[in-house]
A and B are shown apart, each in its own frame.
Chain A
């Protein structure tokens, strides 16, 4: 058995040993690098947006360019970063190790998924520079504008279609892996809660993404053939498009958040040295979120012209979906209580996650209530909400997971003080950037506009400055992570003293993961 999977003798030489690998660990790293690269693109676009919005009446770009930028920011961040995000990178690398498997069920389909993702991303990027230019419809592609606009919708949408196919195949792969490849003694109740989260997420990826696929295909068909499904002149209903789009895109946000919740649930026991509180409740809540998440999509459409009956029903169901998330938050707090706490970077990011996600989640309730929704829909309140849950929630959870599993993936430790410094900048910058938006939205500033009334100047300035502090935090954090690849202290097999299976093999693991597949006799957070 060779020292680590980095030194494996591969079928193809050099870089091709990575590009055509079937090793889930290499594929996880391929995804990690590509998704984080797209994240950098998305962040840059966001910074440009904030620069444009620094002051009322001042412009550095045209309105058309602004429309394109917020659209691409959304498409890149949603489809090219956070949806593949944790499942494709950390899920790929860590989950098979956690269940004691040597790889996923279908390794070749795994690398195919990555290539579909890359080709889809390439098509999206190409669409910016070809045809009618970068699309300006918003990442939600609402009808009728997405049909009528001359920008390069079809190419970009087809790229997203391929990315969706990648996501679907990954979901199928992970489900089969968890069903079939668990080590002896690895019962469902002995799996880590990260693996449970990946399991629930895989169901959403499997079942929701095809609805996006057909919706995107219908956009392309409509642009080319004018069939009329969403065109009132031909009897079509634009609201039906919104239904179909959100039937995927709401469950999609649970694809984003549930794995992050899984990562922090793995981190907390290790950094408090006690078993997680409410294992069954947390596992069940992941499945509950996955299921109830299918029932609430209408809350994106309260002002669309949907029937009152539908609006009341969706509002009620939306309040219901908050419950399993609440179960998790209470369980995490109870897990921290009376723990022997080490405030390492993974736990710091976890605490930030819990705080920021809670704010985002609570504001979601304000949006879920019909009366208040009418006031805040289409304003910066919504923008603030989803950045709190997705960025403050899912991405913070992603960062927590990257720091936690860093030694396992790279065999080295990141530098702890720099990690904490980065976190401080991130946390302060994040709240300046996005809390201002709650204020702006409540005061009535609409979203997706490239300018605003002078009375909104104050919070917008705070927000833009916040974006710079946040960017500083990201630079510090990524500098630390990259620099430590070369200069970090060597990590042992199990620097955190964790009990789950991935830590019972070397860091980094060999290609076949374990010298001998272990027989599991205790739970994943059993520190005795």
Chain B
């Protein structure tokens, strides 16, 4: 009986062969996604520039707005590291979705605690 599973047609009853073909497909996909060196270097240059920018923003002494600006810049830098250096751009969609789980969890934890801190 023909079934479609993981986009592979499984005619055989053997799990080993079906799984193997899927893994070979994943490996070949991974081999095709070769990130050129210049991409990494450009990202690195961007990160260095953003570091300079964040120092400037702090030196402008805008009070707590400096901190907001710095967090935004830090998040941009973190996103660049995640997307390129940590390869998230080239990973399966499930990885891209899952990264939000810990981020949302930390936000909830800090957010709900602040309902206490702000209104004591």
Chain A contact residues, CB within 8 Å of chain B: 100, 179, 183-185, 203, 207, 211, 239-240, 243, 247, 294-295, 297-298, 305-310, 313-314, 516-519
Contacts and interface: CB of A to CB of B under 8 A. Distances in A.
Secondary structure call for the B interface: helix
B116 A519 contact: no
Contacts of A211: 109
Interface stretch (B7-15, B54-62, B67-75, B81-89): B7-15
A307 B109 contact: no
Nearest to B105: A207
Secondary structure call for the A interface: helix
B28 to A, nearest CB: 18
Given A207-B102, A294-B105, A310 B3 contact: no
A313 B115 contact: yes
B118 interface: yes
Q: In which size bucket is the chain B interface? A: 20 to 34
Contacts of B14: 516-517
B118 A517 contact: no
Contacts of B108: 294-295
B116 A184 contact: no
Interface in B4-49: 5, 10, 13-16, 18-19
Contact of B15 (A183, A298, A309): A183
Interface of B: 3, 5, 10, 13-16, 18-19, 94, 101-102, 105, 108-109, 112-113, 115-120
B15 A100 contact: yes
B101 A307 contact: no
Given A185-B5, A310-B112, 12 more contacts: A185-B3, A207-B102, A207-B105, A294-B109, A295-B112, A298-B112, A305-B120, A309-B119, A310-B119, A516-B14, A516-B15, A517-B15
A314 B119 CA distance: 14
A450 to B, nearest CB: 33
Contacts of A310: 112, 115-116, 119
A243 B94 CA distance: 32
Contact of A307 (B3, B10, B119): B119
